Amino acid sequence: MRRKFVAGNWKMHGSLAANEALLRALLAGLGNGYAAEVCVCAPFPYLAQCASLLAGSRIAWGAQNASQHDHGAYTGEVSAAMLREFGCRHVIVGHSERRALYGETDGLVAEKVSAVLAQSLVPILCVGERLEERESGVAEQVIGHQLDAVLSHCGIGAFAGLVVAYEPVWAIGTGRTATPEQAQAVHAFIRGRIAAHDAAIAQALVIQYGGSVKPGNAAQLFAQPDIDGGLIGGASLVAEDFIEIVRAAA
Ligand code: PGA
């Protein structure tokens, strides 16, 4: 049985005061009454704050990006080794906002996956199609290419150490969620693509759904056979909503 995994993607939101209130509310509200694995992915400057508030709890913390390089003259970049020093367990890689706004290509995303794995951290590899790609019937082709870039750069073994997040770009921050059936179909496609290389790795691969997951739709999404939890944006900033979503992943 695959574990359910719910991660919050705070994006560029938060402050010392707001994060402290949110994390204390999560710790108090979740208690021990949930089965899923939980992580919050915070902006870099707040990782030390997450470490100090969450150490010893069941809530892990992670980052939203990492450099493909180990160290060097890369002004403004942050390496996976640095993230490990701050206790991160997960790193979101290839989020559609980074692909669209910062020009991250399938090839660069694959290099980042490799850099994160090299530090024994768990990449949350984001894949997903844009609206025009879905409407023109090439969603699976696009997602296939995104996966193949990682397969060819890192090898199938990488998929034993990472999590995939399927995030249809048209569902992110729009309030327009994929239906459980639409999401399930793509999740099954992703698992099948990996199974063509290694059936056991595919069977164990955790595939999150992301894109306007809310307390009202989480349980139905998470009940699908190939949906193993969620990557949560907006709702991860509201303690009661995130708690409800985590509880829905029982
Ligand atoms: P959303 O974001 O839940 O606000 O749609 C999801 C994401 O971008 O990871």
Ligand 1 centroid distance, CA of 72 (Å) = 32
**Is residue 222 within 8 Å of residue 4, measured between CB atoms?**
yes
- Return the pLDDT at 245: 98
pLDDT band at 33 (very low <50, low <70, confident <90, very high): confident
Domain harbouring 94, CATH code: 3.20.20.70
Residues with CB under 6 A from ligand 1: 9, 167, 172-173, 210-213, 231-235
**Res 129 pLDDT > 90:** yes
pLDDT band at 226 (very low <50, low <70, confident <90, very high): very high
Counting ligand 1 atoms within 8 A of each CB, the residue from 231, 238, 242, 245 with the most, and so the one to mutate, is 231
The domain in which residue 132 lies consists of 5-249
In the chain, % of residues over pLDDT 70 = 100
Arithmetic mean of pLDDT, 147-161: 98
Question: Atom 1 (ligand 1): residue with closest C-alpha?
Answer: 233
- Return the pLDDT at 175: 87
pTM of the model: 0.98
Ligand 1 centroid distance, CA of 204 (Å) = 24
Say how far residue 177 (Cα) sits from the centre of its chain: 16
Ligand 1 atom closest to Cα of 97? 8
- Return the pLDDT at 1: 79
Residues identified as active-site: 95, 167
Ligand 1 centroid distance, CA of 6 (Å) = 12
Question: Atom 6 (ligand 1): residue with closest C-alpha?
Answer: 233
Residue-wise pLDDT tens digits, 64-123:
999 999 999 999 999 999 999 999 999 999 999 999 999 999 999 999 999 999 999 999
- Return the pLDDT at 124: 99
Question: Atom 9 (ligand 1): residue with closest C-alpha?
Answer: 233
**Res 250 pLDDT > 90:** no
Number of domains in the chain: 1
Arithmetic mean of pLDDT, 217-222: 98
**Is residue 221 within 8 Å of residue 215, measured between CB atoms?**
no
Ligand 1 centroid distance, CA of 73 (Å) = 32
**Res 191 pLDDT > 90:** yes
Arithmetic mean of pLDDT, 8-26: 98
| DSSP per position, the chain | -PPPEEEEE--S---HHHHHHHHHHHHHHHTT---SEEEEE--GGGHHHHHHHHTTSSEEEEES---SSSSSS-TT---HHHHHHTT--EEEES-HHHHHHS---HHHHHHHHHHHHHTT-EEEEEE---HHHHHTT-HHHHHHHHHHHHHHHH-GGGGGS-EEEE--GGGTTTS-PPPHHHHHHHHHHHHHHHHTT-HHHHHH--EEEESS--HHHHHHHHTSTT--EEEESGGGGSHHHHHHHHHHT-
